[in-house]
Structures are given as C-alpha cells and as structure tokens.
Structure 1
Amino acid sequence: MYIEQGDSQSAMAAWQKLNKILPGDFYTSFLHARILFMERRYVSAYRELLVIDVPLNKRKGYGEKIANLLGQCCRILGRTQEAAAAYKEAAVWADTPELQAMEYSNYLFNLHYSGRHSAEFLRQQAAKFGKFLEKSKPFHHHRGREKHFLRVGYISADFRRHVCLCFFYDLLTSYDRKKFAVYVYMLGPEDTISEKLRKQVTGWRNLRGLSPQESAKAIYEDEIDILVDLAGHTKGNGLPILVYKPAPIQVSGIGYFASTGLSSVDYFLGDVYLDGEDGQTGQREFTEELVVLPHSHFCYRPLQAVPLPVDTAFSRKGYVTFGSFNNFAKVTDEVLMVWGKILNRLPTAHLLLKAAVFDSEEAAIYIRQRMEKAGLPMARVECRGISEVYLPEYGDIDIALDTFPYPGGGTSCDALYMGRPLITLAGKRHGERFGYSLLMNLDLGELVAFSIEEYIERAVMLAENPELLTGLQTNLRHIMENSPLMDRQGYVRMVESVYADMWEKYEKGCRNYGGENHGKSE
C-alpha cells in the first residue's frame, strides 16, 4: 500500500519488518527492488532484480511483475536489448490476455532503441501482437449509410500537456466543420489543455476505467466512420480497443513510428521522406497499408509561447555547445562514441545533455561512466535533470545532435523552433528517418547525414562556421513557421482529403477492411 501511495520511506520501514520474517523470499526481494526504483536507485534495483529466482510454480503472474520492473530499469539505464528481452519474458508470464498484450507492446516499443533488427523482423514481431487478443469479437459495419459529413474519432492518452499533442493539435482544432465531425476518446487523466480541446471538438469521451470491450462499444455507438489511433505501442495505448473494430476504417500514425501489427488497422500515415514517394520503401515494415503524405505526416504546434534566445550560446560563452534533450534511452553507446569523436575534433566545444535520468544520482554516475568509457571528455560535458519548462534552455546550446537509430521527435521540433539547427542521421526505416523528414520539409538537407562519418563532418563543419550558425539560429523559427511543418490549414486539408478518399474506397468495396467479413453488409 505504501508503494502504491508513493511513500517510499514508510514502504522501506514496512519492508524491513517483512525481511525479518521472509528474508530469502523472492517476493520480499521484488518489493525491495520496487522501493529502490521509487527512490530512483535504478542501478541497485536492476542488480537486485537480476538475482531474483522465482520458483517455477510461481512464475505465472509474479514473473510478469519482476520482468516488467527489470525492463523499466534496463530502459532507463540504456541497456536496451536487455529491456526488450525482459518485456518479452513479462508477456510470457502474464496471467491475463490484457497483461500479455501490454507487455508485448512494451517489447515491441523497446525493439526500436536498437538498430540491429531488420524491417521484416520488426513487422513479423508486430504481427504477433494480435494473437494475445484474438478472442475479441469485432463489430460489423454496414455500407451505404447516408452521410452529410464524416465522423472521425481520435484515440490516445495524450490529449493533454504532452509532447505528442504538438503533432496532432491542429487535427482537433482546425477541421472543416461543414464536412467533418471530430470525436476524441481520451484514455487517461485530463488537464487544462484537455479542457480547452474539449470545447473545440464535436464530442469527447474519457474511456479511462472502461474495459477494451466497453470502450469499443461506446465508439461503435457513436457511429464513427474513421477511427485514428495516435499512440501505437506507446504507454496507455488503445490498441486492445481497436481489435474490436469499432469503426469500419481504422488508421494509426503520428504518435508512433512503427506498425501496430493488427489486422483490424487498415492504414498507417507516413510521408515521402519517411517512406519514399510510392511508399514501397516503408511498406515492408507494416501490416497496414501506408498512406504517403506529400510533405510532413504531422503538423507541429508548440504548446507554449517562448521567445527566441536573445543571443547565441557561443557568443556568450566563447565556445560552441552541442546539446541533446532526448529521452536518454535513445542514447546508445554508439551515439556516445560518435559524440565523443565530435568533441575531440573540436577541443573547446562542450556538450549539454538534459534528461530525466540525471535526476537520479545513482543513475547519473552510471551514465557518466558510460560516457567516459565511450571516449567523451567529461570536463566538457554538462548533465541536467528534467524540468517542466525547458524550451528556454535551448538558449544554452548552439547545435542539437540527434540520436540514432531512434531519432528525436518533439525535442527535435522544439530545438528547431528555438532556433537551434539539428544534425541528424537518416536511417533506412520509417522510424529512423524522422529528423530527415523534418529537415527536408525545412529545405535544410545539408544538415542530414547518411553515414556516421557524414554526421561527424556536418557537426564539425557547422561548429566551425560561426556566420552560418548565427544565420541559422536567427532565421530557423521563421523558416519553420513558413514550412509544411507548421502549415496548419494545408496539413489539415490534406489529411481530410485522405480521409475522404479512404471513405470513398470503403463505400465502393475496394478493400476488405480488417478481415474477411469486416465492413460487409449483413
């Protein structure tokens, strides 16, 4: 109870009493690891979890809890392959289909921190997700209903102050009210931004606390024509709801970068830079049909108005500062080695890293040891913890360095919006080309690298060219505001035309939507 209430001090006191009674019990050790995790002692929790030996007859259920916590520790500490393996084991030992699906979602998500897997492997792994929920009976839909406008539903836990909202805010506020009705299906707690959005849309339901079947029934009864999932396999997602096929057409994208793996999801949103003009570059990764937008697959809108920094960091400090504000799980040892090579090419340059992991003293020491081992000159590296208001801190860097193979998302957009140029490495897969898409939409392809060597050279070149760097920092926001990345009307009209095309194909019976019988009249 103390753990659930977030009271680590009382929890530890209670655990000490328990440990005197059952000192060698596996669950006693697990509870201790949970308390350590609460205290952000991730290294200690990780080490304790590694040696827990769960009796075979207790692994169903208990094994899931232990493996899940191990996965969380590994992800935070950058042990990404171990994290994926732990979540996969958690799915094996989960005692309900819902928990199995959740843990398998975690497994799929964590596969993307490593670039070692082929597109075919990732698609095959995603396709297995639906098997955990295959007993869910889908709804059936009837064609030929009279339509004055299309009903589009959006489902996510992020209709609140959250980085992903920056990418789909305009879909909820700038839609054509003469042709579309927009319904929001919230899957989590709300805030003041949620209240603001609620007033903009046709309908709003918070499905939190309902079962997937109950949630699907509510969506079905709203007669939604196109249901758009904005979360994929991220935390608190609604994929178990989409299995029931509550809408005749179901789409995923924007908030996630890889296939859902569900046969009940018909389309996935991409763009020409992520997937190639014909979509064939990316299609092999998806069980869904790719829809390739001609510019960006999202429209960026900052959630807070922050003025540009008054001056450049290098003019204030006398040296160039690189920076990354990404979730540190994206920062692999290879990324650290590459950043070390950049700093070693530039003897006065510094690196500023900002991430939640640095709020833990124990984890920060562990990460700094990783950096030192990777060859980073630690005297020129600054680490900061997370903060709610962080956009002004981009004024403390000059150049943003993207992570790879899992690139930045909202943090990359924020850096560019705050006038900080981004150096990115374009990968081969949809989810590895986010930075490439951003920069190509800004007509700044010169900042894109297609190899490690190019990545280093572009970073060094820009750092050694103060005139170019100043020009970019001064003009980047203006460039962004006048690019497809922030063209609200152009983007929303384009997506609405895609929805209309999807509906026309559905009405004409051009596709089997979500299975052999789904979408057919009865």
Structure 2
Amino acid sequence: MNIYEHIYDSLGRQDYIAAAAYIRELEKYDQVEAVRLLVSLYIEQGNSQKAMDAWQKLYALLPQDFFTAFLHARILFMQGRYVSAYGELIGIVVPQEKQRDYGEKIFNLLGQCCRILGKTTEAALAYKKAAELAVGQSLQALEYSNYLFNLHYSGEHSAEFLRQAAAGFQTVFGNIQPLLHRTRKKDRRLRIGYLSSDFRRHVMLCFSYALLTAYNREKFAVYAYMLAAEDVYSQHLRSQVTVWRNLRGLLPKEAAQVICRDQLDILVDLAGHTKGNGLPIMAYKPAPVQISGIGYFASTGLLPMDYFLGDVYLDGKQGQLTQAEFTEELLVLPHSHFCYVPLQEVPLPTTPAFLRNGYVTFGSFNNFAKVTDDVLKVWAQILRQASHAHLLLKASVFDGGETEAYTRNRLAAAGLPMDCVECRGISRDYLSEYGDMDIALDTFPYPGGGTSCDALYMGRPLITLAGKRHGERFGYSLLMNMGLEELITYSPQEYIECAVTLARDTELLQGLQVNLRRIMQKSPLMDCSGYMNALEDGYQHISKGYREGEKL
C-alpha cells in the first residue's frame, strides 16, 4: 500500500487518527494534496470549524481549483448554509477529464441543496446528472433513486414520463441473473419477508408496525430484514416476528443470498426509492414473488418487482385509474393500503387554538420540499379570504440562519402576510404542537403522509386536493376511509373555498377536533385485524399463481 491507499483505507474504516498521521507524513512532499485530504478528514468527522480552518489554507494554496470550491460547498452544507452552498456549486466548472471522478459528488450535493431550497425541477436534473456520472452499480442506483424520488415534488411530468423514467432504473442492474428458488412445501405456513431500514423509531414504523405484530401466526411466518442500526423499537419488533435478520453492511448480492436461503414465498419492499432502500437487493429476485409499497408512492421500475400495493381509493377497484403508471401489477386492497399505528400516546388538545387566540390557525408540518410556490400562493389566498386567520409552519428550513431567511422570502414573494405566519424549526416530539393549529393544509401534488395521519389523530381536520395519480391521492384515501369526503377537493379553487368555509364554521370545526381521533380509530386506517386479513388474503391469492418465480 502506498501512502494514499493508507489514507483512503483509514478514512473508509473511520480510523481518523491513523488517517491524520498519514496525512502529516504526506505533507512533507505534497502539501496541496495533504491539505485537501485534511479538509476531507474533518468533513468526514463532522467538524465544520476545523474543516473551514483547513480549507482556508487550501484556498491560499489553490484558489481557482474546482475541487477547492467543492470542498467549500461541502463545509457550507454541513453548517446548514444551503443558500451559500448552492451559490458555490452552480459556479463550479469541472474539467471534462475529471467528470467521472468528481461529477457525481458535485451534482449530488447540488441536488440536496436544490431540494431543501424548493428548487424541485433543478434538484431532479442534478440527481439525474449525478446518476449519469456515477461509477459503480451501487452509486448509480442511489443517484437514480434520488432522481426518481425528486421528480414527484412538482406536477409537471406526465404519468407516461414518470413510468418510463422509473423503468430506466432497471438498466442500472444490467443482466443480473435472478437467484433460483426451491419449490416450497405445500403444507407449511406461507413465509412473508419484509425489507426495510426503518424498523426503528421512524415515521415508517407507524405504517409497518401491524405487518410485524398483527399477522396470522397460524397461517403465516414473518421474516423481518433490517438494513440499519437498531433501537428499542427494533428490539420489541424482533420479539414479534418469526425470524429477524439484520443485513446491514452486506453487499446487495450477499443480502439477497441470505434472504433466498430462507425460502420465502413473498418478499415485500417497504421503501421504494426512499433513503436507505433495498431495491438493489430485490434486483436479484431473492423471493419468487416480490411486492413494493407503503413507504413509496410510485413505480420502482424494477422488473423483478411483481406487484405494487395500492387500495381502491388510490387506484380504483381493479387498479384501472393508475395501472398505467406502474411497471408492476397493482395489488389493490378493498380499503386502505396501510394501517396507521401511532408510536406514542399523546392526549388530544383540550382547548381549540381558535378559542385561545381569537382567530383560526391553519398549519402544515410537512417536509418543506413538498411546499411548492403554487401551494404557497393558494395558502396566501386562504389567509386573505379567511378573516384574521394565521398560518403555522414547522419544518427544518426554519431552524435559523440563511436558509430560514431565504424561505421566509419565498413565503412573502408568494403573497403570504408574514405578520400572520409563524415558522417553527424541527423537533423530535411534535405531536402536541398540533394543538396550536385548527386546520391542517395538505400539500399538492405531493401530499403529506405521516404528518397527515398525525394531524387527523390529533384531532385536526385535513383539507386535501386529490390528484389523478396514485401518489397524489394519499389524502383522498385517508379521508375516504374515514368517511370525510367533505374535506376532499379537486381543484385549487375548491381547496381554498373548503378551507375558508370550515374556518368560518367554528361549531363544526370544534366538533371535528373533538371527534376525529375516535372516527379514525374506528375506521379501516387503524383496524389492524381487518387490514391484515385483507392483505393476507391478497398474499394467499397471488402466491397460488407462482411457482419458482414465474406466473402460472
């Protein structure tokens, strides 16, 4: 090993002491490269101040170099200075001969900045470029997933475009040969596997908890495959399933081989193209029947994925509304495609916010990347028409600094009266803060997920705008399952009118706040037994049509 290999090996093993020692040795004969690596070392350690100090030395040595600018952008990003990082990145020109080495990293960081700053179209294009420049299958898959995910923040693409874009994901995996499956014994329980990195304290656990705890133990054996570090929630789930395996750190093929040896009948992916997903594992077809759903809202594009989980409200009774969007066949449940189980018991607010404040407060706790300029303009009209109304927003972009200032400027530019807008930063336990709003406003075309369920559970009515695609109808499905069709709208103007009308009817509003949790608990959304019966009927039906991975 030469000294560079020692440094990169140490950084890869997170042995920062050894890496620092090798960097000091390198400095004796290559000062520029040593300082570059020192900056990278401090970035990897998460020490932005030391990284910036070292970067100043690098800038003095090599001020015009593109990599010097990129390292500066990385430090700015670490500091939460996303506006400055974005400004640095768009000015970088990478030499053609260096594109394959550094282009992916630069465009990935640009994509992250754009997503945070609400530049959704630019974010998707940046991730697409990162995927094109990525070297190696795992990195290509990661960046292509980023690209697909970010396409959905805006409504500018057709269903056919999105389907074709998703289908392009399969090209990342070339000619991977699917694993061979043994024919199962007919007299044993069906083996169902669930693959996720979120079997822990995470919003996705609210939607997967029933899968691992409420299954029919006489007819089904459940195998949970965890892809991340575990916590106390993981330990509880471990005790509920038939088999628990943590595949963290394994290469996709290695993980797929582990799963294949378990001789599953069905493997369910719960992440789609979200962070930490297991799609590269599913590409090896470790089970004869593979399903995706719940954690993602659009086609995976992966040919070895046989089905995508939907429901009658998202997709129509036979999936006729949205099947054209998917490379997978839709498995349509008769009510909800998920079951919601809150991770903590929080009492309902005792007094409506409008009684305490003297005015109605609308609110949104969604990931702010979903809040497009079009959404902001509609919210501005609601505040103008609903007398004295306020708006409560809670998201990480309001954690202070230049990003908060940038976002506040976005709100003002959209016409929101800023003296009637309250912005709060992110916090770990936030359910009680729903008591500070009266009416939750859904985002569109990318609606809320966990935050919408949380709002309803905390007694806050949700105004949603139903789109035509599977991923645009989450709020529609929620409210239809609760029998609250009057809160569903089909155009921006209807959305505005519905919000304003409810704000004026404070008697109805208070009644909803008192009764929504009970309505939700009695609905299919929280009926674990009914949900699992429907899902397991689906499992039994589709497993009959397969033998050794092929439809009969």
Decide which of 334, 340, 352 is 1:300's aligned counterpart.
Answer: 340
Instruction: Decide which of 517, 521, 528 is 1:481's aligned counterpart.
Output: 521
Equivalent of 1:392 in 420, 424, 432 = 432
Matched, 1:332 2:382: no
Q: Which aligned pairs between 1:420-431 and structure 2 lie closer than 5 A? A: 420-431=460-471
- Report the equivalent of 2:403: 363
For the 8 Å contact 2:181–2:263, the answer to whether it is kept is no
1:66 lines up with 2:106 in the alignment = yes
For residue 517 of structure 1, what is the aligned residue in structure 2? Answer: none
The Cα of 1:237 is off from its aligned counterpart by 0.3
Which of 131, 148, 170 lines up with 1:91 in the alignment?
A: 131
Q: Which residue of 2 aligns with 1:287?
A: 327
Query: Which amino acid is 2:360 matched to?
Result: V
> Greater RCO between the two (CA within 8 Å, min separation 6)?
1
Unaligned runs of 5+ in 1: 514-519
Per the alignment, residue 503 of structure 1 pairs with 543
Aligned partners of 1:272 and 1:429: how far apart in 2?
13
Counterpart residue identity of residue 304, structure 2 = S
1:245 corresponding residue in structure 2: 285
> In terms of mean alpha carbon deviation, does 69-78 or 274-283 score higher?
274-283
Corresponding residue number in structure 1 for 2:363: 323
1:233 matched to 2:273? The reply is: yes
SS in 2 for 1:479: helix
> Could you tell me how far apart the structure 2 residues matched to 1:197 and 1:344 are?
48
- After alignment, is 397-406 or 143-152 more displaced? 143-152
Partner of 2:140: 100
- Which residue of the partner structure matches residue 180 of structure 1? 220
What are the equivalent positions in structure 2 for 1:109-124 lying under 5 Å apart?
109-124=149-164
Give the structure 2 partner of residue 379 of structure 1.
419
Whether the 8 Å contact between 1:349 and 1:380 is mirrored in structure 2 is yes
2: CA distance, partners of 1:69 / 1:181 = 42
1:136 Cα shift? Answer: 2.2
- Paired with 2:333 and 2:214, the residues of 1 have a C-alpha distance of 18
Which one of 468, 487, 512 corresponds to residue 550 of structure 2? Answer: 512
Asked whether the 8 Å contact 1:226–1:250 carries over to 2, the reply is yes
> 2:173 maps to what in 1?
133
CA contact (8 A) 1:98 1:133 kept: no
Q: 1:400: how far off?
A: 0.1
Query: 2:9 matched to which residue of 1?
Result: none
Output the CA distance in 2 between the equivalents of 1:416 and 1:144. 43
CA contact (8 A) 1:184 1:203 kept: yes
Q: Is the 8 A contact 1:253 1:269 kept in 2?
A: yes
2:544 is paired with a residue of what secondary structure? helix
Please tell me whether Structure 1 or Structure 2 has the larger radius of gyration of its CA atoms. 2
Determine if contact 2:365/2:451 at 8 Å carries over to the other structure.
Answer: yes
Q: Distance in 1 between matches of 2:183 and 2:403?
A: 56
Asked whether the 8 Å contact 1:41–1:360 carries over to 2, the reply is: no
Larger deviation, residues 317-326 vs 363-372:
363-372
Q: Which residue of 2 aligns with 1:55?
A: 95
For the 8 Å contact 2:464–2:487, the answer to whether it is kept is yes
Describe the superposition over 1:294-318 as per-residue Cα deviations: whole angstroms up to 9, x where unpaired.
Answer: 1000000000110000110000000
SS at match of 2:545: helix
2 CA distance for matches of 1:206 and 1:135?
27
Is 1:405 aligned to 2:445, yes or no?
yes
What residue number does 2:121 align with? 81
Count of matched residue positions in the alignment of Structure 1 and Structure 2: 512
With structure 2 as the length reference, what TM-score do the two structures score?
Answer: 0.92
1:198 is aligned to 238
Cα distance between partner residues in 2 of 1:417 and 1:175: 24
For residues 296 and 88 of structure 1, the distance between their equivalents in structure 2, rounded to whole angstroms, comes to: 33
Give the distance between the partners of 2:497 and 2:81, measured in 1 at CA: 38
Letter in 1 for 2:368: F
1:15-67 Cα offsets, whole Å, 9 max, x none, are 11111111111111111101100100000000000000100000103000000
Matched letter for residue 512 of structure 1: E
Alignment partners' CA distance in 1, 2:295 and 2:417: 35
Q: Which residue of 1 aligns with 2:68?
A: 28
1:151-170 equivalence runs, <5 A: 151-170=191-210
The structural deviation recorded for 1:135 is: 3.3
Query: In the alignment, residue 232 of structure 1 is paired with which amino acid?
Result: G
In structure 1, distance between residues paired with 2:374 and 2:404: 18
Amino acid at match of 1:116: E
TM-superposed CA distance for 1:143, in Å, is: 3.4
CA distance in 2, matches of 1:492, 1:5: 44
CA distance in 2, matches of 1:123, 1:360: 38
Amino acid at match of 1:465: D
In structure 1, the partner of 2:455 is 415
Residues 190-215 of structure 1, C-alpha deviation per residue, up to 9 Å, x if partnerless?
Answer: 11111111111111111111100000
Shift of 1:220: 0.4
Q: Which runs of 4+ in 1 moved over 6 A?
A: none
Q: Percent identity?
A: 68
